[in-house]
Structure 1
Amino acid sequence: MTLAILAVSPQGIQTAKPILSNYPDARLFSTHPGEGVEHIDHIQSFVAEQFTAFEGWIFIGAMGICVRSIAPLIGHKYTDPAVINIDSTGRHVVSVLSGHIGGANELTRDLASLLGAEPVISTQTDNTGLWALDLFSRRYGWVTKASSEGLNRPIALYTNREKTALLLEVQDKGTSELERTKADHVDVYYSREELIPRLSEYALLLVVSYRALETDLLPVVHFIPPVLSLGLGCRYQCDPKDIVSYILGEVRRHGFFPEAIHHLATIDLKKDEPLLHELAATLQL
């Protein structure tokens, strides 16, 4: 993670030294001179110009300076960098922005351990031991597809401990962890035949599968592991025009997610076919 450390005071520069030693991609900026410091003229102007240039920002100083500097720049939790604030004495490390998606919560814990400080994290799932549904894609390599209303409502239902059904139709490292760490308000199912008659009992459905399960009874979030292989044959040097969209349409028609395709397979003789390469490019395989 590329990190910008902003030391508000000379004391903050001293607090930053162990961070610089342990994070080789970190750079230290300040309006004050010091060893290893890159000089800036004005904190807020610098942050405004460089906000998206770094994956994480570590402010060392008063929280108010941090908040005023980033407030006009905040966009969306899926695009904002992680922001952490550390008091100049290094006693408290506070996760300020992009705790989950941006990695601020994880960085907060690491920095607190490094400095012997107290981590301050306000995210409910972190403090209650609940899953961070919006991190499953990054954590397990799954593709996430929520219903048209997006993830906000499902996350709210889950963190408010509304009754949740979890359908697991694959087994991998991620599903094993979910089985081990599920909360009391989550019931696990291993077949849709067992689950479907009981859907009305739940407020939320989570599905880990390569197949879709659509219902109007409750919000559904699909987590799609890359577990399928697609075998391909074709006429010699056939024109791939419209064929890729047809193939993917057939995959969907049979109830499978194209996002679950992890491998394309064919015989050696067909390895240079334009259709194979166009399909691979479309699926980013």
Structure 2
Amino acid sequence: MAIETLKNKFFFGGLAIWSITPNGKILGQKIQKSVQGSTLFVSASIVQDSDNEKNTIVFKKLSKEIHLQFSAFGGHIFIFSTGIAVRMIAPLLKSKMIDPAVVVVDDNANYAISLVSGHMGGANHLAKQIADIINAIPVITTATDTNRLPSIDMIAKEQGLYIETPQNIKHVNMAFLKGAKVRLYDPFGCVKNNLPESFRIDAVNWNKKIDDQAIDDIGNVSEGESGTVFCSYETKDVSCETLVLRPRVLTVGIGCNRGTCCEDIKAFLISVLKQQGLSVNSIFRFATSDIKKDEIGLLALSQEMKIQIDFYDKNKLNSVKTIQTPSKMVEKHLGVKSVCEAAAILSAGNGQLIVPKKKNKDVTIAVAIKQ
């Protein structure tokens, strides 16, 4: 995998390279040339008058500049000691789910050390790629990697699953390390198809008892030592130690009166999902009529929830033959028999309608699932 490809896959905010010594600057320039679009930060104390490199920022105080730039990048390469790196970034770390990747490279290019966000941030991958560029040894310390075992957070990331209870990743990965099988409910096969049978026991149906009881056939491992993974768009009762993963398989068709605000649309959406036992974190698209392209409330909802809207013209909407609740009023005014149901089905790739039209005085909602 080329470093450019890895950057695009793992670092949505770009890559920052930091150097504070002459050797570090040379290494930084070498890395920068191999990583398209990366930014090199160089200490003013080592800058020469002849230096005029593209995408290079000169800083005076390292701690101040890192504090300003840390969250602005998806990954950081620190070409100085791990001690300095730890002291610089410790106050800035928030969560393994959102912290940028941090790799530390020593001044003589002996090692590329994955320091922070090895899995979710992609630092393990980045360390290996940087090591290839500078002919160094990659240092990876995450236990699942060093033991050549699966990592549930990496499986979730690679499959595009939303991790709803990230605090429980440790229970599942620890089960792998202890040689215990995890209990898995995964009707879509998102995890199952990427986790060998030797690591799991599949549950065909889900109920609270599956989650609560200790299972003897996984090697007499107690409840607290094993792991349970619930991977579904449905909301069910689970224990506080269950890792809940959400496949993004739902599309929500939305219709609304002109001028309906974002807050009102969102409130009704959440209400419908709750009534139907569906997770908001499983939505991957909103959908509606193309006459709503300038609807401020819908556009604000899309931006706030970071969910794209698909817009369909009346010919597309009328092509759907599986709507359940056509509207004569909508047909009279818009020339289509359905907006929310038809749009949801289309956005799901002609998927199955699982929630027919629900409405209040201003908003209509329908939900479909990808085939």
TM-score normalised by the chain length of structure 1: 0.76
Aligned to 2:161: 142
Partner of 1:222: 244
- The answer to whether 1:277 aligns with 2:298 is yes
Aligned partners of 2:265 and 2:201: how far apart in 1?
A: 41
CA RMSD of aligned residues (A): 3.8
Match of 2:142 among 98, 107, 123: 123
Alignment of 1:181 with 2:195, yes or no, is yes
Q: Distance in 2 between matches of 1:215 and 1:80?
A: 27
Q: Unpaired runs of 5+ in structure 2?
A: 1-10, 216-222, 309-371
C-alpha deviation, 1:223, in angstroms: 1.4
Using the size of structure 2 for normalisation, the TM-score is: 0.60
Larger Rg: 2
> 1:52 and 1:29 mapped to 2: Cα distance?
18
Structure 1 segment 159-170 matched on structure 2, within 5 A: 159-161=176-178, 162-170=180-188
Measured in 2, the distance between the counterparts of 1:107 and 1:197 equals: 36
- Opposite residue 17 of structure 1, the aligned amino acid is Q
State the alpha-carbon separation in 2 of the partners of residues 73 and 264 from structure 1: 34
Specify the alignment match of 1:61 in structure 2. 80
Partners of 1:260 and 1:57 lie apart in 2 by 31
Q: CA separation of 1:15/1:246 partners in 2, compared to 1, >3 Å: closer, same or farther?
A: closer
Looking at structure 1, the residues matched to 141 and 246 of structure 2 have their Cα atoms a distance apart, in angstroms, of: 29
> Which residue type is aligned with residue 169 of structure 1?
P
Change beyond 3 A, Cα 1:164–1:40: same
| Matching of residues 32-43 of structure 1 within 5 Å | 32-33=46-47, 35=51, 36=53, 38-43=57-62
Q: Who is 1:84 aligned against? A: 103
Amino acid at match of 1:61: F
Matched, 1:10 2:22: yes
- Helix, strand or coil: the match of 1:200? coil
1:248 to 267, 270, 273: 270
Q: Secondary structure at the match of 1:206?
A: strand
2:118 maps to 1:99: yes
C-alpha separation in 1, matches of 2:275 and 2:244? 17
Match of 2:38 among 25, 38, 47: 25
Per the alignment, do residues 117 and 233 of structure 1 end up closer, same or farther by CA in structure 2, a change over 3 Å counting? Answer: closer
133, 155, 159: which one aligns with 2:152 = 133
Q: Does 1:158 align with 2:167?
A: no
**Equivalents in 1 of 2:100, 2:78: separation in Å?**
13
Judge which range, 54-63 or 151-160, deviates more: 151-160
Q: Distance in 2 between matches of 1:275 and 1:71?
A: 41
In structure 2, what is the Cα distance between the partners aligned to 1:71 and 1:253? Answer: 42
Cα-to-partner distance string for 1:114-165 (whole Å, 9 max, x where unaligned): 2222100111122233343344554322222229xx3355356435434311
Query: How many angstroms does 1:210 deviate by?
Result: 1.5
CA change 1:11–1:243 in 2 (3 A) is closer
- State the alpha-carbon separation in 2 of the partners of residues 5 and 272 from structure 1: 41
Shift of 1:169: 1.1
**Pairs aligned (count):** 275
Which amino acid in structure 1 is aligned with residue 187 of structure 2?
Answer: E
Aligned pair 1:114/2:133, yes or no? yes
Matched, 1:212 2:235: yes
Q: Secondary structure, in 3 states, of the residue corresponding to 1:113?
A: helix
In the alignment, the residues of structure 2 paired with residue 63 and residue 273 of structure 1 have an alpha-carbon distance, to the nearest angstrom, of 51
Aligned AA (2:298): H
SS at match of 1:184: helix
Paired residues of 1:124 and 1:159 also in contact (CA < 8 A): no
Tell me if the contact between 2:251 and 2:285 (Cα under 8 Å) persists in the aligned partners: yes
Matches of 1:3 and 1:118 in 2, distance apart?
20
For residues 79-107 of structure 1, give each alpha carbon's deviation from its aligned partner in whole angstroms, at most 9, with x where no partner exists. 43322111222121011122223322121
How far apart, CA to CA, are the structure 1 residues paired with 2:258 and 2:93?
50
Aligned residues with identical type, % of pairs: 24
Unpaired runs of 5+ in structure 1?
A: none
Cα 1:45/1:251, change in 2 over 3 Å: closer
Is it true that 1:260 corresponds to 2:274 in the alignment? no
Name the stretch that deviates more: 92-101 or 32-41: 32-41
